Every structure is written in structure tokens, then in C-alpha cells.
Amino acid sequence: MKWLIFSIFILLSVSLYGEVDSTLQPQRLPNMAVNRGFLMGGGAMYGADVEYLFAKNRWGVQVGAGLISFGAGINYHLKPRINSSFISVQYWEMWLAPFVQMSFIAPMFVFRTKSFQAGVGCGIALPQGYFTGLGGMPVPLFNVGSYLPFSSKRFTSPPSEEASASSQKNKAVSVGVGMGGGSLGADVEYLVSGSRWGAQAGAGLKGVSAGVNCHLKPSINSSFASVQYWHWQLWQPGGATIMAGPLLVYRAPKYFQAGLGLSYALYHGADVYASEKYKYYWLFNIGAYFPW
């Protein structure tokens, strides 16, 4: 299942990069980047991250995955452009062996120049399973690799048809029961303009989640198929369960959405009762979404 998540994530990265016409690149500042290299994607030997920089802003978000890891972060750039260095707060999660997991929350400084980037920071270990006694221990973290900046907008010229396409809403916030990793929470989705592909990340009272979505139509308010990662009971590591699997999400033209899927358990915390350590879990959520 880890390999499935990683493969789909890399396919998404390639698909996003392929969406952009190279002849349009010089006409606008890029606002997205794919990072790849050593200890990227949450601390993998080789991994990748996708970052989105909000328009005319220094704030960005990123999600990533690697051969044995997953990661996410919130970034603040020193300049309002994607190819500038930035300060970041990141979450790293690594599987050292089956059911042996380490997780970190880390402030980092990431240096960028042309296509090269390197980051260094200090991670705070979260108590997880075999490593419960290491909770709170500071651990130096770093990564090094390259990044490829690009624009998420397919159209740059002003004709009305193209302007209409580029102005279409391509982001949404979903709130409700089962959102944000299987609790009362929220997810934020970004749909690549002119494409059916989207990515989402969320958090709730008892967990976090991330997903790669393929919409039935190139519209944020259409239904979609998704591969999602849920970390249940994140704030109580001993009782945590980590799941990943496919999910089908129905979206009405306005506001209502509901999803149903089946996941495979990647990890059970040490405090989870043996009678509750199932291999498969149903995934379900229901709530409202608000596009913008």
C-alpha cells in the first residue's frame, strides 16, 4: 500500500508538470514546484514534495511522499516567489520497518537557488509505538535535492474564453464528520486549472489526512475518486491507527458531499486493543464543501 501511495503521488507530480505549456513559462511567475531528492517527502531515502505558493503572497503549503515516508508543511518565503528560500514547519513520518514508525514536527530553513535546494532543521520526535519513550527528543533533520518550478495556470493571454477558464474556482474547503482524517474536521483541496487532478490535506480533532483526487469533470464541484491517507488518533500516539485506501466522493452541484471507501491498516499503536486491530477499515465522511 505504501508503494501504491508513492506511485500515485509521483504520477500526480508528473501530470501536474505535464499540464503546463513550456512556451507560456516565461510569461508568468511560477507558483508551484516539485521538489525531489534525498530525505524529501517526509524523510525518505528518495522522495518528492509538491508545493503551492498562494498568489501575490509569501505563504505556501506542501505535501510529499517517499519510498518509506510521508510529509507535509507550511512555508513562509523570504520573497513572494516560488524560487526563493523559505522558513517552514513540517511534519515527517517514516516507516523504518513494518509497524515500526517515527514521526517528527520540525521547524526548518530551506535554501533555494536556481534548481538546487537544501534544508536543515530540528525535529521534535512524537511518541509512536516502539518509540514512545523518545517523545519530545530533539533530532537534527536535513534534506537536499532539486526543484522544478512551474505555473498552475494554463492560460496567460486575456481573451474572454481563456479568461473565463482561468477564473474558474479551483479550490475548496470541506468540513464535516469524517473529514480531516476520520473525525470532526476539515480538508482543503486544490484542483489544477483545466485538469481533473487535485490534491488535498486536512486535519481534525483526532487526526490528519491527505489525498490525491481525480475528478469526473475538470471542475472543483464534481464528484471524484481519491486515494487517501488517514492518521487516526494522531494526538494519542499509543492508540493511533494509520490507514490508506481508495475513496469515492459524491459532490452535489452546491455544498453537499459524502464519501465512502475501504482502507488498509498500515500501523496500529501499542495501546490499540488486539480485538480492534483490523486489517481493513471502512472510510466514510459527510459534510459540506465551499469552493473559491
Per residue of the chain (292 residues), give pLDDT as tens.
444 444 454 444 444 444 444 444 445 678 899 999 999 988 888 999 999 988 677 888 899 998 888 889 899 999 889 999 999 999 888 876 655 677 888 899 999 998 999 999 988 887 665 555 566 678 888 999 999 998 865 434 444 444 444 347 899 999 888 888 888 889 999 998 778 899 999 998 888 999 999 998 889 999 999 999 998 877 776 778 888 989 989 898 888 888 888 888 888 887 777 666 778 888 888 888 999 8
For residue 192, the Cα-to-chain-centroid distance in whole angstroms is 14
With a CB cutoff of 8 Å and minimum separation 6, the contacts of 269 are 128, 129, 233, 236, 237, 238, 239, 240, 241
What is the rounded radius of gyration, in angstroms, for the C-alpha atoms of the chain? 19
The three-state DSSP-derived secondary structure of 164-186 is HHHCCCCEEEEEEEEHHHHEEEE
Residue 142 C-alpha cell reads as: 536535513
Residue located via cell numbers 494519542 = 236
Residue located via cell numbers 472510510 = 283
Residues 220, 195 contacting (CB under 8 angstroms): no
Question: Counting every residue, how long is the chain?
Answer: 292
pLDDT score recorded for residue 27: 52
With a CB cutoff of 8 Å and minimum separation 6, the contacts of 261 are 226, 228, 245, 246, 247, 248, 282, 283, 284
pTM: 0.47
For residue 277, the Cα-to-chain-centroid distance in whole angstroms is 26
- How many other CB atoms are there within 10 angstroms of residue 79's CB atom? 10
State which amino acid sits at residue 213.
Answer: N
With CA atoms as reference, report the closest residue to 70 among 107, 111, 103: 103
